[in-house]
Structure 1
Amino acid sequence: MQILLVGAGLSGAVIGRRLAEAGHDCRVIDSRDHIGGNCHTSRDAETGVMMHVYGPHIFHTDDEEVWNYVNGFTEFLPFQNRVKATARGGVYSLPINLLTINQFFGKTLRPDEAREFIAAQADRTITDPQTFEEQALRFVGRDLYEAFFRGYTEKQWGCSPTELPASILKRLPVRFNYDDNYFFHRFQGMPRGGYTPMIEAILDHPNITVELSTPYTPDMASDADHVFWSGPLDGFFDYELGRLGYRTLDFERFTHQGDYQGCAVMNYGDRDTPYTRITEHKHFSPWESHDASVCYREYSREAGPDDIPYYPIRLVAEKALLGDYVTRAEATEGVTFVGRLGTYRYLDMDVTIREALDTAGVFLENMTSGREMQAFVSSPL
């Protein structure tokens, strides 16, 4: 079959590879001039530092099949994300852990003592938290919420934490030990040469052709037996029902001789600091040595029509519009919507790859049994 894959990021590459291995001809197009989507990495010409061009991507997963899959295309080296936060004139460890608690409150608490102390700080009158703020107050109390969550969240999402659902905070744990590894997953690492060579290797198959700087046009679908769309869901329909809301990021680049901040990621929780964090990219490749350093200050704002969409907002209005687009998509034949943009969901890289592998598997099974391929293998709703 002739397969068209719109987008040369992880979704398009993984689906294309699996279908190419099954004997199908896969045409992968991308409107950008590079592969990899927002995972794209490249060497900084001035310093030689490996740059995460669209912000840092750290691979972490408990899915052993996905871990083995990516290691089949590149060498992953150990990397653990150890985030720090500047707040109220101090520097602290994130996620909130025993060191954070003892530093912030000037204590020397043991784990059980810290658990009791935080329980006393927490607002237990909130029994069914509905908002981000209520969830934080119930978990950690007013002081830690104000220092580490409120200002950062207002900057990141452009609204009060009272307007955000409690579910956003459920992925931020509090630890009563000194473990400052940001992720819990068994497998964590970084590709030695960056993500772009890994995706290049996935796309390296005789049944795959890649065309960059090639925006999708509707006539392309007429030459394909099936289309896998990893662009914006609303973009496929030319935004006829309106635009789904996203947050985007602005990056302010600066260089430094030596080590600027001593860690890869420094969050800034104070509201009067306009950026959310500073990333120092040479620390994402600790096996390399560079005298100079490249850093980025990150500023979050609402995405406009010409901006790169990063984080789907998914509040009430967006979910209603999403439902309308899902209905349109399910009535459209010959197209399957995949990935972060195609399903309007925040997805980590390992989940993106898992869903791409599953989608390719469903497609091959459907072709064998003569069933129509559905619009979504992973529901956006």
Structure 2
Amino acid sequence: MCDFLAVGAGFSGAVIARSLANAGHTVSVVDSRLHIAGNCHTERDPQSGVMVHRYGPHIFHTDNEQVWDYLNQFTTFMPYTNRVKTTSGGKVYSLPINLLTINQFFGKAMSPAEAQSFIEEQADLSIEDPQTFEEQALRFVGKDLYEAFFKGYTQKQWGCSPTQLPASILKRLPVRFNYDDNYFFHKYQGMPRDGYTAIVERILDHPNISVRLGTQFSRAQVKDYDHVFYSGPIDGYFDYDLGRLGYRTLDFREIRTEGDFQGCAVMNYGDESVPYTRIAEHKHFSPWEQHDKTICFEEHSRACEEGEIPYYPIRLTEEQAMLRDYVDKARREAGVSFVGRLGTYRYLDMDVTIAEALEASERFLTLREQRETIPSFFVEPI
């Protein structure tokens, strides 16, 4: 039996801790916050009774059957389809851009084939190899749809011009020439009946696992354990001695009222003149429940400052160079592996986070049994 430490009680730390505990080892899990589940934390709002996604909406979706089966050991998923709306120019449209969006925006009644030809006419085909977000959008949908649905929203979300962002960001957003408004294509999609915190709590419920919240970690503690799995910010591990990697954070403005505030779970706001990116009405994330009151949050995106919660890694040129330096330092550390969204400075969906944690723990146990070197990274961060 060995004694391991998982830093962070989100999905990365919890899944790794459970795998090691199942293998007979003792695992301590620490988190600087006073709750588990990280940014996926959910809790009942005492005034309305609504299950609130405290750090913004999380909808589970995946094609990974192993991850789906794994989570179903710890929760019951309820059917949920993510249907996003957006307000632009004083009108409401459906996202992602689909046949309804196109016909409504242009005041037409086109068939799928007609719409496809029409969008090809709008697209800027002179951009053969899009390098930036803006070029990718113009190449995909043309100037009008780009400015209505992407330009302002993206500028608010990332705090910079879309001309400074890589084209890869927009590859996540499809255009559909049918009336399908399901935001995700994945085989499995749903909401955990009891929220995400309950899942993490059950994953951590093992006699070999101890959890300490409100507990700070320092790299000096690494020597006290057989191995450490660190899912905190990679720059934070080194006390930011090379500088701080760039993140966006979110401010939430609470809205409370009776009944139904906006009629959907998520309403985006594409106009740059609107200071927030979207409003989430949390009762709609649990459509199997009934609540007379409602609670919503406006999301305001801005640069993450010292002591604030990091949400989205920026990964622009300056951050990439600094990240390489931190990765080089991490590779020289002994007895610690960097995992998860913050530990590898990557944007990760929940299913990818869980899949990587399962793979990391399995590989770790195999390498340890074979007395081989444990890597600093199980997934390359660059």
> What TM-score do you get using the length of structure 2 for normalisation?
0.99
Measured after TM superposition, the shift of residue 254 of structure 1 is 1.1
Question: In the alignment, is residue 327 of structure 1 matched against residue 328 of structure 2?
Answer: yes
Question: In the alignment, is residue 189 of structure 1 matched against residue 215 of structure 2?
Answer: no
> Aligned to 1:254, what secondary structure does the other structure show?
strand
Structure 2 equivalent of residue 366 of structure 1:
367
> Aligned to 1:125, what secondary structure does the other structure show?
coil
Cα distance in structure 2, aligned partners of 1:217 and 1:242: 17
> Aligned to 1:84, what secondary structure does the other structure show?
strand
Cα distance in structure 2, aligned partners of 1:42 and 1:99: 35
Structure 2 unaligned segments of length 5 or more: list them: none
Letter in 2 for 1:338: V
Structure 1 equivalent of residue 286 of structure 2:
285
> Aligned to 1:235, what secondary structure does the other structure show?
helix
Give CA-to-partner distance per residue, 1:245-271, whole Å, 9 cap, x none: 000000000101000001000000001
Measured after TM superposition, the shift of residue 217 of structure 1 is 2.6
Question: In the alignment, is residue 105 of structure 1 matched against residue 106 of structure 2?
Answer: yes
Aligned residues with identical type, % of pairs = 66
Cα distance in structure 2, aligned partners of 1:22 and 1:310: 32
Which stretch of structure 1 is more off in the superposition, 271-280 or 210-219? 210-219
Structure 2 equivalent of residue 257 of structure 1:
258
Q: Within 5 A, what are the aligned runs for 1:156-305?
A: 156-305=157-306
Measured after TM superposition, the shift of residue 220 of structure 1 is 2.5
Measured after TM superposition, the shift of residue 223 of structure 1 is 1.7
Structure 2 equivalent of residue 142 of structure 1:
143
Stretches of 4+ moved more than 6 A in 1? Answer: none
Measured after TM superposition, the shift of residue 194 of structure 1 is 0.3
Measured after TM superposition, the shift of residue 94 of structure 1 is 0.1
Structure 1 equivalent of residue 33 of structure 2:
32
Question: In the alignment, is residue 46 of structure 1 matched against residue 51 of structure 2?
Answer: no
Give CA-to-partner distance per residue, 1:325-374, whole Å, 9 cap, x none: 00000111100000000000000000000000000011000111001210
Measured after TM superposition, the shift of residue 200 of structure 1 is 0.4
Structure 1 equivalent of residue 12 of structure 2:
11
Count of aligned residue pairs for this structure pair: 381
Asked if 1 retains the 8 angstrom alpha-carbon contact of 2:223 and 2:335, the reply is no
Asked if 1 retains the 8 angstrom alpha-carbon contact of 2:67 and 2:355, the reply is yes
Cα distance in structure 1, aligned partners of 2:269 and 2:324: 35
Tell me how large the CA RMSD over aligned residues is.
0.6
Letter in 2 for 1:118: I
Asked if 1 retains the 8 angstrom alpha-carbon contact of 2:62 and 2:189, the reply is yes
Measured after TM superposition, the shift of residue 45 of structure 1 is 1.0
> Aligned to 2:125, what secondary structure does the other structure show?
coil
Measured after TM superposition, the shift of residue 172 of structure 1 is 0.5
Structure 1 equivalent of residue 120 of structure 2:
119
Cα distance in structure 2, aligned partners of 1:197 and 1:311: 24
Letter in 1 for 2:323: L
Cα distance in structure 2, aligned partners of 1:227 and 1:281: 36
> Aligned to 1:266, what secondary structure does the other structure show?
strand
